[in-house]
Amino acid sequence: MSLAERILSVVWLGAATLMFAASLGMPDASVRVFLDNASWSLAFWLSAYWAWRGWVQAPPGQRTVHTGLLVFALLVAVGQMVWNLQVALDWNPFPTPADAFFLLGGPLLAATVIRATFTRLSRDRAYPAALDFGGAVLAALAFTLVVYLPAEGVRSLAVGAVLVLYPAGFLTAAGVTALAIPTVGVRVTRSHLLVLAGLLGYGLSWMHWNLMVIGGQLQSGMWFNASFSLSAVALGWGARWLGFDTAEDADFRRRCDRVMNYVPLVSMTLAAITLVLLFLAPEGRAGVQALILACCLLVLLLAALRQTIVVSLLNRLRTAEAAVLRNEEELYRVAHFDALTGLPNRRYFEDALERAVAEAARHTQGANRRVALMLIDLDHFKSVNETYGHRVGDALLSEVGQRITQLLAGQGLVSRLANDQFTVMLLRPASRTDLAQLAATLLEGLAQPWELSEVGAQYMGASLGISLFPDDSANSVELVRHAHSALHAAKSAARGSYRFYIEEFTEVTRSRLELRRRLHSALERGEFTLVYQPQLDQQRHTVGAEALLRWSVDGKAVPPDEFIPLAEEGGLIVPIGLWVFEAACQQVAQWRAGGWQVPVISVNVSTIQMREPGFAQALLALTARHGVPPAGLVLEITESQLLDESLYGIALDLKNAGFGLSIDDFGTGHSSLIKLRRLPVGELKIDKIFVRDIVHDVNDREICATVNALARTLGLEVVAEGVETQEQFDLLVRMGCQRFQGWLFAPALTPALLAERWLQRVEAGEAATASSVAPDGA
């Protein structure tokens, strides 16, 4: 709040108070009326001014509610002007033209709050919530009418209508706002309470005032008259600072949902009490009886309807969950097998290879300690595809898969790696000679003509590269890379041949050794930096950012996918990981000091780090040193690494320390979805390879949809990463996904750019409530 605004507010408020105080002791009635109206006018315009200030400073996504509040405050202020005019003209009908303005505000505000609320709900949640809102408002209304309407009946229809519409308008606005808070999952602040108090105050004051007008007990210069001004000031001041943003904390949101579950019960109880009151004193309340009765019956009807919907919703979820359990095998198949050939896909293969290598590494002697990898690539497959079309190409690939499987006669695991590339993994190969024999057999078999319907016999050979663990590769990644080098060598020598890997094939080995050497000193040389990629919600507001490590050697960037595995191999990832974590904490503190609202920051963590004794304590010490609450940080752990159950305890320690945990690259490992229940994580990140093909690939779409549905039942957040197109985004939104990360929005950015483009400034007066991560959060 600027100094000018502060001074203006104080003077304005002082003037209103002064006018009111003067009206209390004033002997002359007409002066009293003048002072009353003057003090109301000041208070209402001050309220509208504050609401306008609130509107101006509201982030674009939260404007709707502020617009409602501003319009409401303006209508009241303008209504007062009309009233002033009437007083000046001494024209005093009931109802009055000013009523029209006062009455319009409530429904308009209710409508905007409803709009702001329901745009944030998924369809599943919107139906029951709509019924809850309707029921609660009707029950409150019926109850108010029964206690408020004069028992002796009202003079005319117009008078009756005004008497009913006042509570209807204001209490609906108040009720809807009160319900919107837990429905959206907004953390209640003083501003919310002030707005609610203001609305209730308006409603009750006007109800009382109208009764006094009818009863002819109205007086100027009464204490009661201040209640309008107080309501206006409360509402305006609340609107000035109001936030209407979903809290990050999933636990809190679950609590909100639980509160909302009681709403129908409360509504029904209120309706029942109303009915009792109505029957105790049936006379009077002429004409309105039917209305009250109808309200009560509707409340019961809506509650029953809600129950039905919720039960069917629960049933659907239960069926979905059962289906997931039943279909887990199916899901596994879809995720791990190639639809075209029925062979294991790249994911399955990489996993199997990694396990095989790990197993082989445990043996020290003999063939047991060996794994061989053959990489087969069809020669000229592309021209078949181009000449005869994809259908023929697909048929050919499926034949190739079958033929390789036949030729192998049960030795080794065949999989389709990509397009026209197949792999054969052999455990415990006897000797290089045997492998060479097998390779020759495979190539000879694949060189035989292919009988394809429509196009007849086709000739198309293949080339083959072989590499061995541990002879020429230290791990599975290297094994694959070297098989590629060998294949490449085979292709450039003569198509239709095979080659074993030898070191000279690649420059890679040397540059890798060089890279590994450089990595050791990279920390000291300060060659690492962090960049941040924003995570957005459905409305494209920044709700998080992932810290990603960058290494540049002599000004040239080395991709993380290259150096992170190197760092993990040598254990260097432990100090590097700590550096990353500390740099992220430092950055958070720096952004805050710079006046930015910092969202939750995700940091990637390798399980090698997690296994270090005292890991959780080390992280806690770093957060304390930089004054960053652990709840403001999420640790991302890849799914495949979390398979190891011995890590569950450490994960639990981290969670208890207050950190958020996220399963990264979800879908690429093969953890049972149901196992997730036992993990203390709050978030899943769907791997980008699923998102990549979601628009065209039915399987991937199914996987994403299932993951989203299941995550909802388990109460987990889902982050979709690698979102590159609007179509992918739209599909994911429809699946109920809540958070998104990808180039469609932004790549990983330098801290300065991230702040400038994706973070918001904290307004000075709001600092305490605005930061999305309260120090005591989660």
In the complex, the residues that contact Ca ion under the rule CB under 5 A are: 604, 636, 664-665
User: Least distance to ligand C2E from the beta carbon of 757, Å?
Assistant: 15
535 binds, among ligand C2E, Ca ion, none (CB under 5 to 8 A by kind): none
Of the candidate residues 124, 434, 693, 724, the single one contacting ligand C2E (CB under 6 A): 724
Which of Ca ion, ligand C2E, none does residue 467 bind to, with CB < 5 to 8 Å depending on kind?
Answer: none
In the complex with ligand C2E, the residue whose CB is nearer, 600 or 748, is 748
The reply on whether position 668 binds ligand C2E by CB under 6 A is no
Q: How far apart are CA 712 and CA 482, in angstroms?
A: 43
**From the list ligand C2E, Ca ion, none, which binds 412 (C-beta under 5 to 8 Å, kind-based)?**
none
Under rule CB under 6 A, residue 564 binds ligand C2E: yes
Query: Toward ligand C2E, which CB reaches closer, 288 or 610?
Result: 610
Residues paired with 741 in a beta bridge: 721
Residues 6 or more apart whose Cβ sits within 8 Å of residue 54: 66, 69, 70, 239, 240, 241, 242
Q: How far is the CB of 529 from ligand C2E (least distance, A)?
A: 11
Cα(294)–Cα(297) distance, integer angstroms: 5
Using the Cα atoms of residue 25, residue 26, residue 30 and residue 36 in order, give the sign of their dihedral.
Answer: negative
Sorted by sequence, the CB contacts under 8 Å of residue 43 that are 6+ apart come out as 16, 228, 229, 230, 232, 233
| Min separation Cβ 665 and Ca ion, Å | 4
Between 164 and 601, name the residue whose CB sits nearer to ligand C2E.
601
* 742 contacts ligand C2E (rule: CB under 6 A): yes
The site that binds ligand C2E (CB under 6 A) totals a number of residues, namely 22
Pick from 456, 555, 559, 613: which binds ligand C2E (CB under 6 A)? 559
392: phi then psi, degrees, rounded to nearest 5: -65, -45
Single out the residue of 537, 664, 717, 766 in contact with ligand C2E (rule: CB under 6 A). 664
- If one asks whether residue 766 binds ligand C2E (CB under 6 A), the answer comes out as no
Evaluate whether 611 touches 605 at the Cβ level (below 8 Å). no
* DSSP conformational letter for 28: -
Long-range pairs, 271-276, Cβ under 8 A, ≥24:
271/138, 271/139, 271/142, 271/143, 271/295, 271/296, 271/299, 271/300, 272/296, 273/143, 274/139, 274/142, 274/143, 274/146
C-alpha 454/C-alpha 522 separation (Å) is 60
Nearer of residues 38 and 732 to Ca ion, judged by Cβ: 732
Given Ca ion, ligand C2E, none, residue 548, with its beta carbon under 5 to 8 Å by kind, binds: ligand C2E
**Least distance CB 692 / ligand C2E (angstroms):** 7
Q: Is 215 in the site for ligand C2E (CB under 6 A)?
A: no
Q: How far is the CB of 253 from Ca ion (least distance, A)?
A: 24
Angle between helices 63-89 and 29-57 (to 10 degrees): 160
Q: Check binding of 569 to ligand C2E (CB under 6 A).
A: no
Output the smallest distance, CB 260 to Ca ion, in A: 33
DSSP, collapsed to helix, strand or coil, labels residue 186 as strand
Select from 90, 554, 561, 776 the one that contacts ligand C2E (CB under 6 A).
561
Q: Which does 344 bind (CB under 5 to 8 A by kind): ligand C2E, Ca ion, none?
A: none
Tell me the closest approach of the beta carbon of residue 136 to Ca ion, in angstroms.
42
Interface mask toward ligand C2E for 400-439; x: CB under 6 A: ----------------------------------------
Q: Which of 91, 224, 459, 743 binds ligand C2E (CB under 6 A)?
A: 743
Q: Among 232-240, 329-337, 712-720, 740-748, which window interacts with ligand C2E (CB under 6 A)?
A: 740-748
Determine, following the binding rule CB under 6 A, whether residue 540 of this chain makes contact with ligand C2E. no
| String of DSSP letters for 41-65 | HHHHHHHHHHHHHHHHHS-GGGHHH
Contact 659, 634 (CB under 8 A): yes
- The CB-of-542 to ligand C2E minimum distance in angstroms stands at 15
279 three-class SS: helix
Asked if residue 198 binds ligand C2E (CB under 6 A), the reply is no
Nearer to Ca ion, 623 or 640 (CB): 640
Q: Tell me the pairing of strands 556-558 and 542-553.
A: antiparallel
User: Residues 6 or more apart from 7 whose CB is under 8 A from it?
Assistant: none
Integer Cα distance of 754 and 743 in angstroms: 14
Is residue 91 close enough to count as binding ligand C2E by CB under 6 A?
Answer: no
**What ranges in 426-507 are assigned the alpha helix state H?**
432-447, 476-493
Residue type, 153: G
Binding of ligand C2E at residue 606 (CB under 6 A)?
yes
Annotate 597-620 with DSSP letters as a single string.
Answer: E--EEEEE--HHHHHSTTHHHHHH
**726 exposure class (CB count in 10 Å sphere: 0-12, 13-18, 19+):** exposed
Nearer to Ca ion, 50 or 581 (CB): 581
Q: Is 611 in the site for ligand C2E (CB under 6 A)?
A: no
Q: Which is nearer to Ca ion, 82 or 689 (CB)?
A: 689
Instruction: Round to the nearest angstrom and report the end-to-end CA distance of the chain.
Output: 29
| Half-sphere exposure at residue 358, Cβ-oriented, CA atoms within 13 angstroms | 6
Instruction: Report the nearest approach of Ca ion to the CB of residue 741 (Å).
Output: 9
| Residue 559 binding target from Ca ion, ligand C2E, none, CB below 5 to 8 Å by type | ligand C2E
Pairwise CA distance, residues 559 & 11, whole Å:
61
Cβ 522 to ligand C2E shortest distance, Å: 13
DSSP element (H, E) containing 760: strand 760-761
Distance CA 763, CA 778 (A): 23
Rounded Cα distance, 536 and 46, in Å: 36
48 binds ligand C2E (CB under 6 A): no
Site residues for ligand C2E per CB under 6 A? 533, 548-549, 559-561, 564, 577, 580, 604-606, 664-665, 688, 721-724, 742-743, 748
